[in-house]
């Protein structure tokens, strides 16, 4: 696998991980007991920490990518294993194709 492919796949795992970890540990102003700014949404976070989210996403993405790469090298799950519906039915009259 080329290093550019590794980088692109890791980036995809990182973005997925960032969206998965973003809602955890975030509290609203009401939960924190802090006064809201006029016009602020009720669901706005009071303690948004992008560095913590990035760190969590990096760790989760590294674990997920390690599992992906181990599967790529060892071939534990292949494309044929993901065929959930079985073989497609044969259709008569398609011999020309």
Q: Does position 60 have pLDDT exceeding 80, yes or no? A: yes
User: What are 31's two structure tokens?
Assistant: 């939960």
Query: So what's the pLDDT on residue 7?
Result: 97
C-alpha 38, offset from chain centre = 35
Q: Does position 13 have pLDDT exceeding 60, yes or no? A: yes
Of 6-15, 38-47, 74-83, the range with the highest mean pLDDT is 6-15
Query: So what's the pLDDT on residue 64?
Result: 98
- Name the average pLDDT for the chain: 90
Pairwise CA distance, residues 84 & 70, whole Å: 23
Q: Does position 94 have pLDDT exceeding 70, yes or no? A: no
Query: So what's the pLDDT on residue 92?
Result: 73
Query: So what's the pLDDT on residue 83?
Result: 81
Q: Does position 95 have pLDDT exceeding 90, yes or no? A: no
């Amino acid at each position: 696998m080329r290093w550019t492919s590794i980088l692109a796949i890791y980036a995809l795992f990182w973005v997925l991980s960032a969206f998965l970890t973003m809602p955890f540990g975030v509290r609203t102003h009401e939960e924190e007991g802090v006064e809201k700014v006029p016009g602020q949404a009720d669901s706005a976070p009071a303690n948004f920490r992008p560095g913590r989210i990035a760190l969590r996403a990096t760790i989760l993405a590294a674990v997920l990518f390690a599992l992906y790469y181990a599967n790529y090298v060892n071939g534990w799950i292949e494309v044929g294993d993901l065929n959930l519906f079985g073989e497609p039915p044969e259709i008569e009259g398609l011999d020309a194709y």
